[in-house]
Structure formats: C-alpha cells, structure tokens
Chains A and B, each alone.
Chain A
C-alpha cells in the first residue's frame, strides 16, 4: 500500500514486549516476541501469530498469550489494552503506524484498573455493576404493551446518539486519575463509577422513557463514588475512542445533581 515502510513488500520484524500474568493474584512478568508483520497488520493479528508460535525472543517456548477480542472493528471494546503506555483498542491499532521500521518495539500491557484474568485479558465486571447502579436502561418491561415510544426531537437525538455509541471499553476509566483499581467487589458500590457510567446515566436521563428513573440515577450519583468524585482532569474525553463528549456529560450530570441536591435538601429525603 502507500506506506513507505512497506515498499517492496518485504516483511519486517517487530518486537512485542508483553506483560504477562498466569491468573488472578499471580505475579506478572515481561516476555518479548519477535513477530514478522505483513503490511496493514494490527496488534490482534500479531497476537494471533504469537499464539501460533509461542516462543520468546531468546528461543524459550512459552504459553500462548491470552487476550480478549470480539468484533475486530472497534465497536465492542473487548480488546482494550495499554499499548505503548496508552490505553486503546488493539484491533484498530495498526502496526504500520506504531512500528514503521524493522526492529521497532511495541509494548502491550493489560489495563491497570481492572483485575487481570490472564495476560492481556481483564475482567471489566465493575463497569457493568456501575451501569446497574445508575440503572442505565429505559424501563419498558411489563405485562402489557406500552405502545409506541415518545417522539424525540432531532436535536435531542443528536446529543443522545453520540452518547449511545459507548461500547463500555473502559478507556476512560483506565486513563482517569480518580478511578483506582479495586479487586474487592464489595467495595465497588462506593468506588468511583467513572466517566462512562456518568455519561450513560445522562443518556438515559434524557431518554423520554428512561427519564422515569432519573431520580434513582441521581440519588445513586450523589453518593460516594458518584459524580462528585470526578476531579475534572478530563483525561476521559481525550482517550475515548468514540469521541463521546464525556466532560459535557459530567457537567450536565453535575447540573442535574446540583438541582437534585437542592430539591432533596429543601424537600427532605
């Protein structure tokens, strides 16, 4: 293709330094692999190659590196990992951009804010608990048909569409200085929920049907670990692969929380 580094169609070798871990609670270690890359290869295709040739650079046989992935087109979020120190999806991470020259190194680490299942595969369950905590859904289940949903203005759709593209990948949580790793699931309820959850709460608060649960969502977000735990570092918005305006969601929920807090204060709990 038009990439100068690949002119002549020669394959080049790229070194992958990978932070490995055999399972929860096990120590982690670094292993390096030399991988011949084709033009337009991505990190996942290289991991596939390593799985087929699990031998480290110094010739030691090892176990295949484990990772998580699904859609391979940056819409599911499963393959999120820390690449060269920065969190992103590995399926859309092109080797030609990251390692244009023979012998270049790419470093892969699992996300640091979630418990490691194995190697590059992490358990993002806390994220889903957060979605449950703020009831990030529109309640339409029942015993009878509710008929057509209410209409939404195009302007409203425009705002909500962007928020709806969140794939719960966890990038915004990984980069957030206020979001800390918490292995103990019993503490998730009071640990910071993070930008993705706040943004989803806004998505459903502004949904004409979802708005029924608005007070519940705000009650949850007013407590410890909610909206007030955000420190406005705004890393979240910088790393979100879907360009979701997370800081606007944070401010919008901040405004809703201000009003909700005043109401609660003067009306009583």
Chain B
C-alpha cells in the first residue's frame, strides 16, 4: 500500500501525462481511422473503383469490406492490437477512473458550460469504456452470446455480420437489436465527445494553449473535429442499420473472397460459416432451402 503510493507519488507527473497522451495517441488517432473506415460503408457509394457491387449501397459495402480486408492483412495484427489498443485503452481507463474518483460534481450549483463539460467528460469516459469492452468482446473476442442473434464476427463477412450483430439475425430488426443499436449510438457519441473534449483539455494540460483567446480558438478546432467524427460515426451506424442490405452484403462479400483467394477458399469458408446462427433467417438462405415449388404457372395473355 505504502509502496504503491510511493510509486504513484514519485511518478505521478509521468503517469498523468501518459494518461493524457494515450487518449490522443494512439487511442484518439485510432478512433479517427476506425470511424473513417466504418463510415466508408456510406461514402463508399461514391467509390468509382468498386466494381463487384451493382448498386450504390453495394459499392459502400464493397468499399468497407475492402478496407476491412486491408486491415486484417496487416502483419503482426494481434500484437499491434494488444500494444497499440488494448493496453493503452486499459491504462487510460484504469487511471481515468482513479482520477475521476478524486473529483466531485457541483454542476447544480455552478452550471457553467465548462463545468458541464468537466462532468460529461467523466460520464462519457465511463460509458465509453463499457461500450468499448462490449464492442471488442462481441466483435473481436467472439463473445457471440452477447449479440442479439448470437452472431460471430467474421472479417470475411464484415458488413453482413456487423449488420446482424447490431440489428439481429440476418440483419432483420429484433428487440435486442434495437437495444444494441441504441447502445451503439450512445457509445459512439460518448466516445467522440470524450475525444474532442479531451483534445481541448489536453492542450491546456500540456500548456499548448495558454491565453483564453487561444483556448477559445482551439475549442473551435476541437468542435469541428468532434462534429466531423460524430458525423462519421453516425453515418457508419446509419449505413449498417438502414442502408446495407444483408443478402446483398453476403453476396458481395463472397464474391470478394472468391476474387481474392479463389473459389476453393470460398467453399471452405462457406463450410465453416454455414451454420452461423444469424444466417438462418436470411431471405436467400430461406429461399434456397424451401422445397421446389414446381414450374411457374403459365400466364395467359
């Protein structure tokens, strides 16, 4: 106990500054990349190089899927993830909670904007961390029992499994899906606020912005960064919730795998993911398993 406190006392400044730094780099920087990638499901509709998909929405899916393949083909991915994401996030979160506990809340008495942001920064930290744990546990560590339809994430089927993990089986809305989707909306919004506001306070902490005018100017910059990221996050979410079509996504994803790794590999993959629980309700799958209804009736002119 005394040893731990001695350690804290001796390295307090370093720990606090590492905490501040970690929030910007790598965590904040990663969030920018992550939201940019995910929002490509929407702005990818403008991607002229997408050629597998036939519709605008499909081009979005293709662009997103393309980015996901790129990321998943990075060398030493797991090591990078642990070193650049999981450890810094755990560090930032644990210290953040410890620091937040040293404060108090007096917004009801001193309802200044800055004070509200101070309180929100702590609240969004808590919300954001819970959200990140859920997000990573379900879509990375495979805790599929926490998703609405027991969906297991597969990066080969990124767009479709994501839609299913948000909404429910085969990308059809379910009650659990609505709850998860609202949770995502809150979680993403909280994290974007936390980052933008943290960027603003970090400049004071490190002494980059000193005068009130400088702090105000930097505040405008941070607000813009926040607004753009918020838009990226929301559009990504809207893309997966309202635009992407599940069956179209599966087809595009499979065609892309075929093109990249060949037909053999696709068959292997389909075998492996054949009984993904969430695919059962897919319209295509259902149509395929229904008994042959017989020849179409002749239409008399």
Residues of chain A touching chain B, judged by Cβ–Cβ distance below 8 Å, are: 85-86, 175, 177-178, 180, 190, 192, 222-224, 226, 228-235, 238-239, 245, 247-248, 250-258, 261, 265
A175 touches B106 (CB 8 A): yes
In the complex, which residues of chain B have a beta carbon less than 8 angstroms from the beta carbon of A251?
A: 204, 207, 209-210, 215
A238 touches B12 (CB 8 A): no
Known contacts A233-B115, A238-B114; A223/B13 CB under 8 A: yes
A-B contact pairs, 21 of them (CB 8 A): A177-B106, A180-B102, A223-B12, A223-B13, A224-B8, A226-B13, A228-B17, A230-B205, A232-B114, A232-B118, A234-B112, A235-B110, A247-B204, A247-B215, A248-B211, A248-B212, A254-B204, A254-B205, A254-B207, A255-B210, A261-B14
In the complex, which residues of chain B have a beta carbon less than 8 angstroms from the beta carbon of A230?
A: 205
A231 to B20 Cα, complex, angstroms:
11
Number of A-B contacts defined by CB within 8 Å: 101
A69 to B183 Cα, complex, angstroms:
54
A231 to B8 Cα, complex, angstroms:
18
A226 to B15 Cα, complex, angstroms:
13
In the complex, which residues of chain B have a beta carbon less than 8 angstroms from the beta carbon of A257?
A: 13, 207
B201, CB-defined interface residue at 8 Å = yes
B208, CB-defined interface residue at 8 Å = yes
A194 to B297 Cα, complex, angstroms:
84
Residues of chain B touching chain A, judged by Cβ–Cβ distance below 8 Å, are: 8-9, 12-14, 16-17, 99, 102-106, 109-110, 112, 114-115, 117-119, 121, 201, 204-212, 215
CB distance from B35 to the nearest CB of A (A): 25
A180 touches B207 (CB 8 A): no
A178 touches B103 (CB 8 A): yes
In the complex, which residues of chain B have a beta carbon less than 8 angstroms from the beta carbon of A222?
A: 12-13
Having A86-B110, A226-B12, one finds 11 other A-B pairs with CB under 8 Å, namely A175-B109, A180-B103, A222-B12, A223-B9, A228-B16, A232-B204, A250-B204, A251-B209, A255-B208, A255-B210, A261-B17
A238 to B192 Cα, complex, angstroms:
27
CB distance from A57 to the nearest CB of B (A): 25
A256 to B121 Cα, complex, angstroms:
25
In the complex, which residues of chain A have a beta carbon less than 8 angstroms from the beta carbon of B105?
A: 177
A79 to B114 Cα, complex, angstroms:
27
Q: Which of A180, A192, A258 has the most CB of B within 10 A?
A: A258
In the complex, which residues of chain B have a beta carbon less than 8 angstroms from the beta carbon of A253?
A: 207
B204 touches A238 (CB 8 A): no
Chain B contact residues, majority secondary structure: helix
In the complex, which residues of chain A have a beta carbon less than 8 angstroms from the beta carbon of B106?
A: 175, 177, 235
In the complex, which residues of chain B have a beta carbon less than 8 angstroms from the beta carbon of A238?
A: 110, 112, 114
Known contacts A251-B215, A254-B206; A177/B104 CB under 8 A: yes
B112 touches A235 (CB 8 A): yes
In the complex, which residues of chain B have a beta carbon less than 8 angstroms from the beta carbon of A226?
A: 12-13
In the complex, which residues of chain B have a beta carbon less than 8 angstroms from the beta carbon of A234?
A: 112, 114-115, 118
CB distance from A126 to the nearest CB of B (A): 16
Q: Which of B103, B110, B121, B201 has the most CB of A within 10 A?
A: B110
In the complex, which residues of chain A have a beta carbon less than 8 angstroms from the beta carbon of B114?
A: 232-235, 238
Which one of A232, A245, A256 lies within 8 Å of B201 (CB-CB)?
A232
Nearest B residue (CB) for A82 = B109
Top 4 A-B pairs ranked by shortest CB distance?
A255-B207, A233-B118, A234-B114, A228-B16
In the complex, which residues of chain A have a beta carbon less than 8 angstroms from the beta carbon of B201?
A: 231-232
In the complex, which residues of chain A have a beta carbon less than 8 angstroms from the beta carbon of B109?
A: 85-86, 175
Which one of A175, A192, A265 lies within 8 Å of B110 (CB-CB)?
A175
In the complex, which residues of chain A have a beta carbon less than 8 angstroms from the beta carbon of B102?
A: 178, 180, 192, 229
Q: Which of B8, B112, B210 has the most CB of A within 10 A?
A: B210
A232 to B103 Cα, complex, angstroms:
11
Nearest A residue (CB) for B109 = A85
B207 touches A228 (CB 8 A): no
A85 to B104 Cα, complex, angstroms:
16
In the complex, which residues of chain A have a beta carbon less than 8 angstroms from the beta carbon of B112?
A: 233-235, 238
A235 to B118 Cα, complex, angstroms:
10
A177 touches B103 (CB 8 A): yes
Which one of A178, A224, A248 lies within 8 Å of B210 (CB-CB)?
A248
In the complex, which residues of chain B have a beta carbon less than 8 angstroms from the beta carbon of A233?
A: 112, 114-115, 117-119
A258 touches B207 (CB 8 A): yes
CB distance from A7 to the nearest CB of B (A): 34
A175 to B210 Cα, complex, angstroms:
21
CB distance from B117 to the nearest CB of A (A): 8
In the complex, which residues of chain B have a beta carbon less than 8 angstroms from the beta carbon of A261?
A: 13-14, 17
A253 to B110 Cα, complex, angstroms:
25
In the complex, which residues of chain A have a beta carbon less than 8 angstroms from the beta carbon of B215?
A: 247, 251
Nearest A residue (CB) for B204 = A251
